[in-house]
Chain A
Amino acid sequence: MSATHTSTLPQHGQGHSHSHDAHDHHEPNFWHKYVFSTDHKVIGVQYAMSALSFLFFGFLLMLCMRYQISHPGEAIPIVGSLMERVLGEAASGGKMSADLYNSFGAMHGNIMVFLAIVPLVFAAFGNYVVPLQIGAIDMAFPRVNMASYHCYWMGGVTWFTGFFLPGGAAKSGWTSYSPLATVAEFGHSFNGQTALLVGLVLLITSSLLGSANFIATVVQLRAHGMSWMRLPFFVWAQFVTAFLLLLAFPPLEAAGILQLMDNVFHTSFFLPTGLVVGGSQLPVSGGGSPLLWQHLFWFLGHPEVYVLVLPAFGIVAEVIANNTRKPLWGYKSMVYSVIAIGFLSFIVWAHHMYLTGMGTKISTFFQTTTMMISIPSVIILTALFISLWGGSIRFTVPMLFAVAFLPMFGIGGLTGLPLGFNASDIYLHDSYYVIGHFHYVVAPGTMFALFAGVYFWFPKATGRMMNEFLGKVHFWGSLVCMNMVFAPMFVQGFKGMSRRMSDGGAIYFGKDVAYGADPGVLKLNNMILASALLLFVFQLPFIFNFFWSIWNGRKVTSDNPWDATTLDWATPTPPPHGNFLKEPIVYRGPYEYSVPGASRDFTPQDQKDPKG
């Protein structure tokens, strides 16, 4: 039990936490305040800073890959010699070997999904905002929360050690399909793939601790009057996401353990009988099934993509309601839809496996459930669109990102339909079309929602606004560049370009090859590279803005600079240990904007009399 205290002093800095046995009021030392804190706000910020760092690193990996794709066999300028010094032979001459390209690819995917986006969207925003929005003083299990963060960064570090192990980092795709994941570096048991699997166990542990915490918090620690249908949609989204993480991750943990056994103890869980590698039979017992890995992986893999997107829906919903000055349209439908998505997401996974030779009956089953799940997703997106209708829209920077999210996610979602249909997926599977699709939902989709969230909640966390001009530059630059990076990929995919090719497709599309395909595909690679570099440049104003505004941003003049209704804006700024000066009581729903007869155009949830 944590001995938290109501702050009797005005506006402490963040992270004012006490060790749980101490009933004294000594200022905690640096370690307890910033490293081993049990305060959900500090932990949220810790997650955010770590995840943003991993995001940046993953971006750099991708830039190296894109350069390689456009200029196969050439040394990468500036970065190439650094890579050679750090990674040695794999990057000799500043050029990426094919294996190195594969490991960059596998690590880019894994880092972005597990170390960057999910921790940002769920652990960082969820930890910071959810207890505030439900009127709680902290999460239900603060020390478990802290343990969850430390498992997370340790898992990340474990992954990074892979770059320095024999054979380099994991290089069998982010999906780690067996048997490649086992035979890629068969001679060395402790290789990058092993590091990936061990780190994965740590990350899954972190995730399980976190998701149990979230669910218990939302169920048990809602303030008086905060009934289920008065919860902000953001909380509902995080709540469903927590269930996805809780129940979908363990089979991947099981699979990870089994693959670890294959790699280290030479079992054959996923190795079929009679496998021949490099001309000789593999000295293993055989009797395993590569398909088993795929089923177990995608059982998580599919709910995982909803984990990437549902909290984004939540952020966008909050920002839209606030900046249209009217309630969300169809709140109830959105809540039921998000619950439906949560449930259905567990039974669609094999649409990632249409090309494994599944029969027509089971393919039809998964195709049907996949089509079914698009319905609640469309309901949510439509409700958000309709929420704009008739609103007094304020195009603040968060709102720009939130509004842009809608069509961008729309493109991402619609392009998923041909992939969800068995017949069309036969052509498009493992092509660049797939890369275009999922990046659209995550990059101009989820990431835009994340940026909206940062600009939106920054004033609450720091007491200062981020610079608006720089925010708009960041927005417009990112919007244009992201489209220029990912839209060409649909074209490339339709023209038959496969993913994961370290030479950018030159072997199939080069001018000397009589493949009959359109070599224009290769020119698109150059456009994508240029746009990616430009995209990087447009993140610099954001990075600068973020840090500069912490100390020099325009100070807020009230605790509620956006005139929002939800409880997170009813705290001092920044919220002290214990969050609320007095226990909040909730009298109304979360989006009472422009209520006729009220004294202001918004009525906070904890305000008893709308006219008061």
Chain B
Amino acid sequence: MSDNHSHGPTGGSATAGHDDHDHHDIASHIKTYIGVFIALLVGTVITVSMYYVHFDSMALTIAIALFIASIKSFLVAAYFMHLISEKKAIYGILIISAIFFVALGGLTLWGMHDWPTGAEGKAMYVP
């Protein structure tokens, strides 16, 4: 196997042939990064402001908070973590993890709320 060390004086000379191409790519990416950064800050402000608005339904409050958090995390994952252009293997690993996370939380939650019912059809036991 060929030795692929690069011993350029300032380093990076191995990429000499690709510099211009990379430059353009990266430069546009930097704009995206700054954009995402601003979006994240805005999202944070929105989430905190929602705290001061009173919703009658607790479920709605939770849903809004988690929705905003999901948007923010999507931005971090897709752009900062480059997931939007990532390979299938990585998506596969993440999807499997997500499925098992939901299984863990959901089945445990269900397990702690499904109780045996007695003759009258009422739950026999409440924790």
Residues of A within 8 A of B (CB): 219, 243, 247-248, 251, 272, 289, 291-292, 295-296, 299, 346-347, 350, 353, 357-362, 365, 583
- Flag if A299 contacts B110 (CB, 8 Å): no
B96 interfacial by beta-carbon distance below 8 Å: yes
Which residues of B95-127 have CB atoms within 8 Å of chain A's CB atoms?
A: 96-97, 100, 103-104, 107-108, 110-112, 114-117, 123, 125, 127
Complex: A347 Cα to B89 Cα, angstroms = 23
* Pair B111/A362 contact, Cβ less than 8 Å: yes
Indicate if the CB atoms of A583 and B1 lie closer than 8 Å.
yes
- Contact in complex: A347, B114 (CB < 8 Å): no
- When A251-B104, A289-B127 are in contact, do A359 and B112 touch as well, CB less than 8 Å? no
* Interface pair A346/B108, CB less than 8 Å apart: no
Other 20 A-B pairs with CB < 8 A, given A295-B108, A358-B111: A289-B127, A291-B127, A292-B112, A296-B108, A299-B104, A346-B103, A347-B107, A350-B111, A353-B111, A357-B115, A357-B125, A358-B115, A358-B116, A359-B115, A359-B117, A359-B123, A360-B114, A360-B116, A365-B110, A583-B1
Which B residues lie within 8 Å of A295 (CB)? 104, 107-108, 111-112
Could you say which residues of chain B place their CB within 8 Å of the CB of A299?
A: 104, 108
In the bound complex, residues from chain A placing their C-beta under 8 Å from that of B117 are 359-360
Instruction: Name the residue of chain B whose CB is nearest to the CB of A3.
Output: B5
A219 adjacent to B111 (CB under 8 Å): no
Tell me, in angstroms, the Cα distance from A383 to B26 when the chains sit together: 53
User: Which B residue's beta carbon lies closest to that of A272?
Assistant: B127
Measured CB to CB, the residues of B under 8 A from A are 1, 89, 96-97, 100, 103-104, 107-108, 110-112, 114-117, 123, 125, 127
Q: Which of the listed residues A243, A247, A292 has the most CB atoms from chain B within 10 Å of its own CB?
A: A247
Specify which chain B residues have a CB less than 8 angstroms from the CB of A289 in the assembled complex. 112, 127
A272 vs B127: C-alpha distance when bound (angstroms): 9
Minimum C-beta distance from A228 to chain B (A): 12
Of A346, A362, A365, A583, the residue contacting B100 (CB under 8 A) is: A346
CB contact between A247 and one of B97, B107, B112 (< 8 Å): that residue: B97
What's the Cα separation between A291 and B127 when bound, in Å? 10
Specify the chain B residue showing the minimal Cβ separation from A359.
B114
- Is the Cβ of B127 less than 8 Å from the Cβ of A219? no
Which of B89, B112, B125 has the most C-beta atoms of chain A within 10 angstroms of its own C-beta?
A: B112
CA distance A359 to B112 in the complex (A): 9
Contact status of A357 and B116, CB under 8 A, knowing A219-B89, A289-B127 = yes
Which of these, B96, B103, B108, contacts A292 with CB under 8 Å? B108
A-B residue pairs, 4 tightest by C-beta: A359-B114, A295-B108, A362-B114, A359-B115
Chain A contacts for B116, CB-based, 8 A: 357-360
Contact A350 B107 (CB under 8 A): yes
Complex: A289 Cα to B127 Cα, angstroms: 9
B114 A358 Cβ-Cβ under 8 A = yes
Shortest Cβ gap from B67 to chain A (Å): 25
Q: How far is the CB of A358 from chain B (nearest CB, A)?
A: 6
Q: A362 near B97 (CB under 8 angstroms)?
A: no
Residues of A within 8 A of B125 (CB): 357
- Cα–Cα, bound, A359→B109 (Å): 12
Which of chain B's residues have a CB closer than 8 A to the CB of A219? Answer: 89
CB contacts (< 8 Å) of A347 on chain B: these are: 103, 107
Give the Cβ gap from B108 to chain A, nearest Cβ, in Å.
4
CB distance from B99 to the nearest CB of A (A): 8
Which residue on B lies nearest to A291, using beta carbons? B112
Which B residues are CB-close (under 8 A) to A251? 104
The verdict on A362 contacting B110 (CB below 8 Å), with A219-B89, A583-B1 known, is: yes
Query: Which residues of chain A are within 8 angstroms of B97 by Cβ–Cβ distance?
Result: 247
13 inter-chain pairs at a CB distance below 8 angstroms, sorted by A residue, are A247-B96, A247-B97, A248-B100, A292-B108, A299-B108, A350-B111, A357-B125, A358-B115, A359-B114, A359-B115, A360-B116, A361-B110, A362-B110
Nearest CB in chain B: distance from A580 CB, A: 12
Query: Given the complex of chains A and B, what is the CA–CA distance between A296 and B109 in angstroms?
Result: 11
Q: How far is the CA of A346 from the CA of B116 in the complex (A)?
A: 24
Query: In the assembly, what is the distance between CA of A251 and CA of B101, in Å?
Result: 9
Contact of A361 among B96, B103, B114 (CB under 8 A): B114
B116 to chain A, nearest CB (A): 5
Q: How far, in whole Å, are A357 and B125 apart by their CA atoms in the complex?
A: 8
Q: How far is the CA of A357 from the CA of B111 in the complex (A)?
A: 9
The smallest beta-carbon distance between A197 and chain B, in angstroms, is 20
A354 → chain B closest CB, angstroms:
11
Tell me, in angstroms, the Cα distance from A299 to B107 when the chains sit together.
Answer: 10
Residues of A within 8 A of B110 (CB): 361-362, 365
A137 nearest in chain B by CB position: B1
Separation in Å of the B65 CB from the closest CB of chain A? 22
* Contact yes or no, A362 B107, CB < 8 A: yes
A583 vs B1: C-alpha distance in the bound complex, in angstroms?
Answer: 9
User: What is the bound-complex CA distance between A73 and B100, given in angstroms?
Assistant: 47
Closest residue of chain A to B103 (Cβ to Cβ) is A347
Closest to B127 in A: A289
A243, B99: Cα distance in complex, Å: 14
Most chain B CB within 10 A, of A219, A289, A295, is at A295
Chain A residues within 8 Å of B89, by CB:
219
